[in-house]
Structure 1
Amino acid sequence: MLLERREDFMKPFRELQREIDRLFEDFFAPVTRRSTVYSYLPDVDVYETDDSVVVEVEVPGMDKKDFEVKVEDSILRITGEKKLEREKENRNYKVVERCYGKFERTLSLPDYVDADKIKAKYENGVLTISLPKREEKKAKVVDVKIE
């Protein structure tokens, strides 16, 4: 009995959900991405800790030299290029599903981020950018004695 490999039946639904998410993101926050210009658009997570704002960019298969990270006028700009290596011998591609090309992601930074102390590292396919908060923004908790 020969078993046929079936395509993941949920794949079209996940792709549709991703496109809907991007449509809403483009509509409600146009400064966050420029999807019409770039063919590859990596996913980004942004979260905040007590000490910093952290941006994680999912970019597997790249090298740290392939990125450029800049801050201009409270805008974090992440650019890069994921190159297709078709020059390898003995490869006659029938299907190419991975995304390649130049990309740019831009994110508005809160005013309490200290742009002079930003750090970035690339590890295991994720570019992590740490944006420390200025000292005056960090929450100071004071217990007040009630008399």
Structure 2
Amino acid sequence: MMFRSLFPRDIFSELERLQRELHQPFEQSPSIRGRVSFPAINVGGTPHAVEIYAFAPGTDPASIDVQLVKGVLTIVGERKPDLSDKDEQTSLHIDERFAGRFRRVVSLPDDVNPNAVEAKYRDGVLHISIQRLEAAQRRQISIQ
């Protein structure tokens, strides 16, 4: 069986290895958890509202733009680099903190009220609360 010696025994594992090697130079910032989008977000809800938390420490709130169009929430902004006043003698050894423009998009349920949105930024956390439509909320009906 001459052809067996020409190919690795597990061709699929070899293809996966080659794919990892090809993608490795393009990885921007490897981390323990893999590639993570910035800002990290948590999305949850209560019976009365949808709550979104975007964790963006070091971001100027004036540089953040929040829009809600047709049930899609978009968060766009920019975080400036920490060492903006570098000179010839400044050297950077490790740079793991994200700097630059960012954009996160979240699809929302159909029962949100686009006219009842509140956004607050405090201690590096952007909290967006979107009220649900009153018609979509659960009601207790009394029986007579």
TM-score scaled by length of structure 1: 0.68
Which deviates more from structure 2 when the two are superposed, residues 116-125 or residues 82-91? 82-91
Residue 15 of structure 1 is matched in structure 2 by: 33
Alignment equivalent of 1:77, drawn from 74, 79, 82: 74
Which consecutive unaligned segments of at least 5 residues does structure 1 have? 1-11, 23-39
More strand by share: 2
Task: Find the aligned partners of 2:63 and 2:53 in 1 and give their Cα distance.
Answer: 16
Which consecutive unaligned segments of at least 5 residues does structure 2 have? 1-29
Alignment equivalent of 2:59, drawn from 58, 62, 73: 62
Letter in 2 for 1:100: A
Residue 46 of structure 2 is matched in structure 1 by: 49
SS in 2 for 1:115: strand
Letter in 2 for 1:117: A
Following TM superposition, the consecutive aligned residue runs of length 4 or more in structure 1 with deviations greater than 6 angstroms are: none
1:137 and 1:43, CA in 2 relative to 1: closer, same or farther beyond 3 A? Answer: same
Letter in 1 for 2:74: R
Residue 3 of structure 2 is matched in structure 1 by: none
Q: CA deviation at 1:80?
A: 0.5
Q: Identity of aligned pairs, percent?
A: 29
* Count of residues in Structure 1 that have an aligned counterpart in Structure 2: 113
Rg larger in structure:
2
Q: CA RMSD in A?
A: 2.3
**1:101 maps onto 2:110 in alignment:** no
Cα deviation 1:7-31 (Å, max 9, x = unaligned): xxxxx88323xx4xx6xxxxxxxxx
Residue 140 of structure 2 is matched in structure 1 by: 141
